[in-house]
Amino acid sequence: MQNPTTMADAPDAPGSIVIGEGVQARGTFIVPGRAVLNGTLEGTLVAKDLFVGKTGKGIGKFKAEVADLHGQIHDTLVTTGSLIIRATGRITGVVYYREVEIEKSGQIEGKLSQGDAPAEVLSASPAPQPDA
């Protein structure tokens, strides 16, 4: 597993995406590498690695092999490997994980399940669409 500094400091690696602080994005994102979230993302994101910085906020459905949370995720998070919730991290909603580590003051509110998520979890509802 990569350490969080590497995940945050190498955003220009091929197949990666960065949502910067102050940026608001909506939609569905399929990221073959690393996703760094320091702004707000509303929708669906599937990535190999997910790093949510202290200013990052995800609203919707998120799936990653490894997730390292310093910020917030609201709705659904699925990790197929490790989930690390740092002291400033917060998850509200439904969480599926294989391994979990929660630092003192890290928060989870909702349903926590160890093991695989049902297949329909990420496809249950479409990403939010902007008002026309």
- What pLDDT score was predicted for residue 13? 79
Q: From 15, 4, 129, 126, select the one nearest 61 (Cα to Cα).
A: 126
Q: From 42, 33, 30, select the one nearest 12 (Cα to Cα).
A: 33
**CB contact at 8 A, 15 and 36:** no
pLDDT for 124 beyond 50: no
Distance between CA atoms of residues 62 and 66, nearest Å: 11
- Mind listing the pLDDT tens digit for each residue in 36-60? 999 999 999 999 999 999 999 999 9
- Mind listing the pLDDT tens digit for each residue in 71-122? 999 999 999 999 999 999 999 999 999 999 999 999 999 999 988 888 777 7
Which pTM value belongs to this model? 0.83
- Residue 117 has which token pair? 């998520």
Name beta bridge partners: 66: 49
pLDDT for 21 beyond 60: yes
**CB contact at 8 A, 25 and 45:** no
Residue 123: pLDDT band by 50, 70, 90 thresholds?
low
Name beta bridge partners: 99: 82
Q: Where are the beta strands (DSSP E) in 1-132?
A: 17-19, 24-37, 40-52, 57-69, 72-79, 82-85, 90-97, 99-102, 107-114
- What pLDDT score was predicted for residue 1? 39
- What pLDDT score was predicted for residue 9? 52
Q: From 33, 96, 17, 12, select the one nearest 62 (Cα to Cα).
A: 96
